Structure formats: structure tokens, C-alpha cells
Structure 1
Amino acid sequence: MIRRNVLLLGLGAVLATTFPALALDRALTPEETQLIQQIGAHNSAIRTMAGRFLQVDSQGGRTEGTFFLERPNKVRFRYNPPSREEIISVGRGFYVINRKDQTQYAYPQDRIPLRNFLGDKIDLLTANIVDVTSSDAYMAVTISDDTPIGVVQVGLIFDKQTLDLAQWTLTEPSGAELTFSLYDIQKDVQIPKSYFYIDPTYKAVQPK
């Protein structure tokens, strides 16, 4: 079963297993600042992308699907069958679509940390960064934000060589985690407008 509430709350396996403090307890080094700026500029220049994702939850459950992103503020997560659920953002909010039941519900986009990666210009230095960790190959930037279910942390992992987003982890207030890995990514592709269409006849329901 897809843990939908958590999916909506952001874009990395975080390199620590516990919550860091709710504010970065040190100054970023000049090297970290420069790399985060480079990551923002590189990803801002990618106007569209599509690929596949693997989602793993805290219990080891695995779900796969495809995603489509178009800047600014559009993204679609489509889960492989037998799931009939999709997550679609069209700039106003994040909608959970159930095509079997023909229902939808939404979260406001300004309460979703994923907005930090979907905007026209990505500037992670303006987000609430609570932790930055680097290895030889990767940089992890953890962002904390207040959401409809409480304070959620989003750990974004970037490849230091390509500057691409490779993985992210969402950590909800209970400590439960949801990790996404991206693969088979294509950049600057044509995405049909219909991919971000939300059927207005679908019944609005409350989140479960």
C-alpha cells in the first residue's frame, strides 16, 4: 500500500538515522555553499525530466513507477499496476488521484517541502537546511518544514560529479521513512500537457 501522506510531503537516503536539530548548528563551509549553489543552477536549467523510481518504506515494502517533471511546479508520480493511484502537482497543490474510485484530494503546494525542488529557480540556501553531509561521491542536504502532518524532513542526495538528484528520503514526525531512488532519467523531454490533467469530475475526498 502506498503511504500517500508521506509521499506528498517532499523530495536521498539521509545519512543519519535520527532527526538532526531543527536548525543547522554550524555555518556552511565555502565549499558546501558553492556546491549547493551549483546544484541549484544545474537543476534549474533542467526544464523537464522523466524516468523511473523505486520507493522503499520503513518496513521494506517496495513500489515502482514512473515520474514526469516540468518546471515550474509540475510533477506526476504514476505507480505501476495494480495500483491505480497517481500524485499530480499542477502548481496549486499536490493531488492524490485514485482512478479506480475516481476520487481526488489535495494538499496546498505552499505547505509541501517538495516545492523547494520544483520551482522555476532552485535555491536550497533559502530553505530551512538542518543538516549537510558529504562523502566522496555524494552530498546530502536535509530540509525541515512544517506540513499538514507536522514537521517533516526531506533528505536530498545529489551526485557531486553530475549535480543530479539521485535519491531522497522523507521522514515524518513518527520517524517513519520513505525513500525514493531515481533511474533511467531523460532530461529536457517533451511531456504531453495531458499528463498534468486532473479530471474535474473526480469526487473530492478527505485524506485517509
Structure 2
Amino acid sequence: MLNILASLGAITAIATSPLPLSLQATEAAAPAPQVSEPAGLSEADRQRLLNRASTALAKVKTASGTFEQLSPDYSESTGRFALSRPGKVRFEYDDPSPLLVVSDGTTVGLQDSELETTDRVPLGTTPLALLLDDDIDFATEADVLDVTNRNGRVEITLRDKSGEMDGTLTLVMQESDMSLTGWHTLDSGGNLTQVQLTDVSYGQRLNPRLFVLKDFDEN
């Protein structure tokens, strides 16, 4: 499925890397912009969509497929992903990108095979924490900034209630069955990353080793 990923020492390199979810530090993050209630969507319709989205996402325990990513600098990249709730995901980028991103349920690691570096941040400081929760409750776990339903596509923009996560996460779902088709992340610096999921399979048994990221000196 789904920039990917507080401070790591090599945060400058991480912050400029094209990732599915933001890895940027949150210490000096500017307040996320307030989003007005979309015109034409009643509170009842808004709540109905949130309930449907929460139910649909909770049913997805495993998923795998391919992704296409548009980074803030408009560069495009592709790759494969594997997801296992709660908390685990793997984004493996196609060549020529040297990047591999893995969440093991506690931390999210970014590995660069060219530089032979591995950097990690707590899962809770990234938008992945919301996406990988096994029972998403929009009422208690996130501030819902916006809900839209246009042309068969539902978009739900969220901000972490704890304030640990940098920026906002927008889930993109198909209105007919509320399947997740992608997401957008907007960090505190105004950098927008868009991810689209394709060829997604659900409910398959996934190898646990997919969600283990070893440092280069351990390989």
C-alpha cells in the first residue's frame, strides 16, 4: 500500500529522500493548516463515510501489490509493497532507486543500498502509524480535517491527535467499496507526496521476514 517516515542524526538526508510517508523531524514542525468543512457534505454524510472507511480499513489485515509515487520535486518512482496489520509494512523501490523502507511494528527504517546506511525513527512519529493501526477509530485517534466525496472518490484528511506526527495524511478511497487506492502526505514545510496503489491483493499469508530490516553489518 501508502514521504514515508524524530531525529536520527542523518535527518537531513532522510528529509530530502522521496518516500511514501514523511520521515521528517517533528521538533520544530509548524502547525498543520486548518481545513474548512467541504461545502455540500452534511455532517450525517460525513460521519457515514468515516464509519464505512474505518470498517473497511479494519478488515484489511494483509495486502501486497505495486505502488507509484510522485514526490515533492515531481520525480516519479515505482515499487512493490507488502502490509501486515498492525504496524508492519515494506516499500521496495524499483531500480534505479536504492531505497528500501520497512516498518517492523515499532520503528520505521530507511535503507539506502548505495550509501550502505540504515536510519530508523519511531513508527508513532510517522503517518504510517495511522495507516497501519489494526482498528482505526477516527473519533479518538485522529483529528479529521476534511472529508470529500467527488466522482466516486472519497478523501479523508487526518492529523495525529498526539502531535507527534509531522503534517497531515489524506487517505484516498474508492466510494463503492471503500478500498484504499492511495494517499497523500503534506508535511509542515508544504511538501506534498502522492502515492497510488495498483494490483493489490488482500488476505494472503506474508513472510514475516519481509518486515525485518537488518543493518548492512548484520547481513
- For the aligned pair, the TM-score class normalised by the smaller chain equals 0.7 to 0.9
Once the 2 structures are TM-superposed, how far is the Cα of residue 180 of structure 1 from its aligned partner?
A: 0.3
1:143 alignment partner, one of 158, 164, 176: 158
2:167 to 117, 138, 152: 152
In the alignment, is the contact (CA less than 8 A) between 1:20 and 1:131 conserved in 2? Answer: no
Deviation at residue 137 of structure 1 after TM alignment:
0.4
Residue type at the aligned position of 1:98: D
**Offset at residue 200 of structure 1 (A):** 4.5
How far apart, in 2, do the equivalents of 1:128 and 1:25 lie?
15
Alignment of 1:1-208 (within 5 A): 3-4=16-17, 7-9=20-22, 20-21=33-34, 29-126=43-140, 127-145=142-160, 146-147=163-164, 151-200=166-215, 202=217
CA distance in 2, matches of 1:25, 1:81: 40
Q: Is the 8 A contact 1:7 1:178 kept in 2?
A: yes
Paired residues, number: 193
Spell out, residue by residue over 1:151-183, the C-alpha distance to the aligned partner (whole angstroms, 9 max, x if none): 411111111102111121111122121100111
8 Å contact kept, 2:38–2:148: no
Q: 1:61 to 1:34 in 2, by over 3 A?
A: same
Normalising by structure 1, report the TM-score. Answer: 0.81
**SS at structure 2 position matched to 1:191:** coil
3-state DSSP of counterpart to 1:38 = helix
Unaligned 5+ segments in structure 1 are 11-18, 204-208
Show CA shifts across 1:30-70 (max 9, x none): 22212211211112111100011110123321100110000
Q: How far apart, CA to CA, are the structure 1 residues paired with 2:119 and 2:21?
A: 11
Mapped partners of 1:60, 1:112: distance in 2: 22
> Could you say what the CA RMSD is over the residues aligned between the two structures, in angstroms?
2.8
Q: Are the equivalent residues in 2 in contact too, given 1:66–1:79 (CA < 8 A)?
A: yes
8 Å CA contact 1:128–1:143 kept in 2: the answer is yes
Q: Percent identity?
A: 23
Gaps of 5+ in 2: 1-12, 24-31
**CA–CA separation in structure 2 for the residues paired with 1:45 and 1:118:** 12
